[in-house]
């Protein structure tokens, strides 16, 4: 795949077409001097375990990797923290209310969205959900599944960073 800069032809500040590569991380406008640094987008992943030790997984309703397993999560919105983003994403995809989050680790990723390669930093969180509600698939999830760790095959997860995160969680013994 081409470097992400190949898709940026105009200066986002003044609109000039004299927008050239400055170095491997930035482009510079020859007209107004603006330097744009290409940084990853923040994304979140929720690792939720029930009282039986099963993990909450969802089936992707949309591309990329439609139909494969995933963990609840998604992009953080502007003006929200990563923790607020994971809470919102869990609510949108499962209807569950998260009352506690704990950062675990992060994995860099590339996410193809509408033929545009988005570089992300996927932040994995252990999430505790309030009891009394049943998870229901919504938004980007077509199905909600509670799977025992011994029944989880990382290869069933369609996104590379999620697959790597699941492998890491299985090695660690789960989200507890």
Distance CA 133, CA 172 (A): 28
Record the tokens describing residue 32, joined without a space.
């107004």
Specify the DSSP element, H or E, that contains 164.
helix 160-172
Residues recorded for the chain: 176
Asked whether residue 35 carries a pLDDT value surpassing 80, the answer given is yes
Residues 47 and 106 in one domain: yes
Q: What is the pLDDT of residue 82?
A: 97
**Do both 10 and 84 map to the same domain?**
no
Per the residue annotation, which of 21, 63, 80, 143 is the catalytic one? 143
Token pair 């996104």 is found at 159
Residue 22's domain comprises 4-37
pTM for the full predicted model: 0.89
Residue 121 has pLDDT above 80, yes or no: yes
pLDDT at 117: 83
Residues 26 and 54 in one domain: no
Same structural domain for residues 51 and 132? Answer: yes
147-166 tens-digit pLDDT: 999 999 999 999 999 999 99
Cα 124 from Cα 166, distance rounded (Å):
10
pLDDT for 143 = 96
* 142 in the same domain as 123: yes
Same domain, 45 and 126: yes
> Is 93 an active-site residue?
no
Contact between 143 and 136 (Cβ < 8 Å) = no
pLDDT at residue 7, as a whole number: 81
Q: Are 54 and 33 within one domain?
A: no
Q: Check whether 176 has a pLDDT greater than 60.
A: no
48 and 26 within one domain: no
How many separate domains does the chain show? 2
- We report the CATH number of the domain holding residue 52 as 3.90.79.10
């Amino acid at each position: 795949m081409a470097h992400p800069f190949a898709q940026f032809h105009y200066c986002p500040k003044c609109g000039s077409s004299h927008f050239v590569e400055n170095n491997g991380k930035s482009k510079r406008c020859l007209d107004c001097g603006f330097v744009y640094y290409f940084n990853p987008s923040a994304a979140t992943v929720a690792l939720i375990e029930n009282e039986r030790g099963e993990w909450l997984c969802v089936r992707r309703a949309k591309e990329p990797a439609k139909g494969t397993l995933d963990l609840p999560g998604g992009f953080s919105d502007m003006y929200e923290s990563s923790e607020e983003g994971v809470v919102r994403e869990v609510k949108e995809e499962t209807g569950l209310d998260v009352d506690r989050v704990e950062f675990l680790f992060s994995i860099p990723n590339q996410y193809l969205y509408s033929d545009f390669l988005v570089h992300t930093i996927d932040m994995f969180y252990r999430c505790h959900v309030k009891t009394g509600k049943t998870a229901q698939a919504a938004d980007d999830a077509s199905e909600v599944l509670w799977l025992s760790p011994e029944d989880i095959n990382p290869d069933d997860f369609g996104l590379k960073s999620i697959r790597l995160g699941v492998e890491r969680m299985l090695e660690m013994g789960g989200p507890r």
